[in-house]
Amino acid sequence: MNDVILTSRMEAFPSDSNTLERYRASGGYLALADALRDMSPEDVAAEVKASNIRGRGGANFPAGVKWGFLAPSEPHYLVVNADESEPGTFKDRQLLERDPHQLVEGVALAAYALGVRHAFIYVRGEYPKPARRILRAVEEARAAGFLGDDILGSGFSLDVTVHLGAGAYICGEETALLNSLEGHRGEPRIKPPFPALEGLYASPTIVNNVETISNIPWIVANGGLAYAAVGPETSAGTRMFSLSGHVQKPGNYEIVMGMTWREFIYEVGGGIRDDNELKCWIPGGASAPWFMPDQLDTPVTIDDVAGNGSMLGSGAVVVMDETTNVVAAAHRIVKFFAHESCGQCTPCREGTTWLEAMLWRILTGSGRPMDLDMLLDVSDNISPGLRWPPAQTTICPLGPSAVSPIRSIMTHFRDEVEAMIPSQEEAPVG
């Protein structure tokens, strides 16, 4: 069994894994040709369902189940979410730059399975090079007959539009992405209705992440059961992890889920820089509650991470060593969410802004003892009960995401926060 699915071509052929010639020479577009000749759309969808692949964008929802929700009314749309913006995440950039045809073939297979005639690939605006690579791949595929009218004589036709964003994290939220693609502000929609019933142009729409769709050619070529057999039962397949922060070897790693965090950080990642001590880490993107060293032996699976009060999210692992000022780190993350709040919902718009202001006050030596409880109080108004998974008073999860770093430092490092607040005797009068 291959240990690597998505990155095998770029590892074997680093100088030209992005070209149509290399993709075809290494088996590319055979799955599409075989599927169009021998399989019904339902057959393809059944393989994806059987693979048990869970969406790689952050929510980890089973992709085959999501596909099953697609309403029958036509037209159907498929949108690939390449708006990779969760701080710490850079895996989709590699897939777009280094193996764009793998994604294009996945788009064609998914569109065939879903009855889609027009698909969109929404690439974040700060990714012009990945957008150039994916656009070239789409044009090459069209010229070679793998996209366009009557693909390979099958009668199936597919148009693909590559769309470039313009700098808004929130457009990674699928309904915000659809609004953006329609030419509106990228504000999330109230769900339900979910996009599978009412999505792009109010038509049934499936939105999938780049990594999810990039797995489809392998799944169709090898069978869904073969994919499901890789890794733990509820975390099937390989997974791209983006490792960054204070590790010796940051980078993207495609691994089979199930190893421990200790193995991932110390063996895969080479351990902490300068042989420093690990202080904490973020297991799944800036939105995720932080893990502490006593969780190093937790397995890296979707369910084990969720069961320990966090989430694997987008697979972004950010490691912090003993030298880290955790209040400054939390402030930087909260600042991100305050900047990226779309402004629709008051608790998020006002709450994230005040959380950032309070953390800044504490960081710069002007914190007040009451700020500690106020941080939690404002957080509670965004995400009532401060529980996990988070409740929300907002349309989308961005607001509650800003609460994660607050909860993390107030739970694990409250003493460090308190130490930054001047005692009342020292505090200036007035």
Partner 1 sequence: MTTPADWSPDNRDRADRFIAAYPERRSAVMPLLYIAAMEHGYISDDAMAEVAALTGLTAAQVQSVATFYTMYKRQNVGKYLISVCTSISCFLLGADEVLAAVESETDTPDGETSPDDLFSVEHVECIGACGGATAVQVNYELVEGVTPQKAEQLCRWLRDASPDPVLGDEMQALFGGRRSFDWGPKETEGATVPVPAWGPLGSAREAR
- Tally of CB atoms within 10 A around 249: 12
Residue 102 binds partner 1 (CB under 8 A): no
- The site that binds partner 1 (CB under 8 A) totals a number of residues, namely 67
- Indicate the length of the chain as a whole number: 430
Task: Name the one residue in this structure whose structure tokens are 């926060």.
Answer: 417
Cα–Cα–Cα angle for 286, 291, 296, nearest 5°?
A: 135
Residue 87 binds partner 1 (CB under 8 A): yes
Q: What residue type is 130 in one-letter code?
A: P
Residue 430 binds partner 1 (CB under 8 A): no
Contact with partner 1 (CB under 8 A): which of 8, 244, 344, 352? Answer: 244
Contact with partner 1 (CB under 8 A): which of 70, 119, 181, 398? Answer: 181
Contact with partner 1 (CB under 8 A): which of 44, 47, 97, 212? Answer: 97
Quick one: which segment of 24-32, 127-135, 344-352, 374-382 binds partner 1 (CB under 8 A)?
127-135
Residue 242 binds partner 1 (CB under 8 A): yes
Quick one: which segment of 42-50, 102-110, 258-266, 332-340 binds partner 1 (CB under 8 A)?
332-340
Residue 84 binds partner 1 (CB under 8 A): yes
Nearest to 348 by CA among 382, 301, 313: 382
Q: Which residue pairs from 418-426 have beta carbons closer than 8 angstroms and sit at least 24 positions apart in sequence?
A: 418/372, 420/327, 420/362, 420/363, 420/365, 420/367, 421/362, 421/367, 421/368, 421/369, 421/371, 421/372, 422/365, 422/366, 422/367, 424/369
Q: Residue 313: exposed, middle, or buried by beta-carbon count in 10 A (0-12, 13-18, 19+)?
A: buried
Instruction: Report whether the peptide linkage leading into residue 369 is cis, meaning its omega lies within 30 degrees of zero.
Output: no
CA-only gyration radius of the chain, Å: 22
Site string (288-327) toward partner 1, x via CB under 8 A: ----------------------------x-x-x---x---
CA–chain centroid gap for 428, Å, is 45
Residue 37 binds partner 1 (CB under 8 A): no
Contact with partner 1 (CB under 8 A): which of 2, 12, 16, 274? Answer: 16
Residue 195 binds partner 1 (CB under 8 A): no
Question: Least Å distance between CB 401 and partner 1?
Answer: 13
| Contact positions with partner 1 (CB under 8 A) in 334-373 | 336, 339-340, 342
Question: Least Å distance between CB 191 and partner 1?
Answer: 20
In sequence order, the 6+-apart residues with CB closer than 8 A to the CB of 83 are 122, 123, 124, 165, 171, 172, 177
Question: Least Å distance between CB 147 and partner 1?
Answer: 13
- SS3 (DSSP) at 142: helix
Query: CA-CA distance, 143 to 164, in Å (whole number)?
Result: 22
Query: CA-CA distance, 384 to 43, in Å (whole number)?
Result: 44
Question: Least Å distance between CB 373 and partner 1?
Answer: 25
Task: Name the one residue in this structure whose structure tokens are 């700020």.
Answer: 371
Residue 167 binds partner 1 (CB under 8 A): yes
Question: Least Å distance between CB 93 and partner 1?
Answer: 5
Instruction: Sort residue 153 into left (φ over 0), alpha (ψ -120 to 50) or beta.
Output: left
Q: Residue 241: exposed, middle, or buried by beta-carbon count in 10 A (0-12, 13-18, 19+)?
A: buried
Contact with partner 1 (CB under 8 A): which of 154, 161, 346, 364? Answer: 161
- Name the residue nearer to partner 1 (CB basis): 4 or 226: 4
Query: CA-CA distance, 245 to 109, in Å (whole number)?
Result: 37
Contact with partner 1 (CB under 8 A): which of 132, 262, 361, 412? Answer: 132
Residue 126 binds partner 1 (CB under 8 A): yes
Residue 88 binds partner 1 (CB under 8 A): yes
Quick one: which segment of 209-217, 241-249, 378-386, 411-419 binds partner 1 (CB under 8 A)?
241-249
Residue 136 binds partner 1 (CB under 8 A): yes
Residue numbers at the binding site for partner 1 (CB under 8 A): 10, 14-18, 84-90, 92-94, 97-98, 118, 124-129, 131-132, 135-136, 161, 163-169, 180-186, 201, 242-246, 250-252, 282, 286, 316, 318, 320, 324, 328-329, 332-333, 336, 339-340, 342
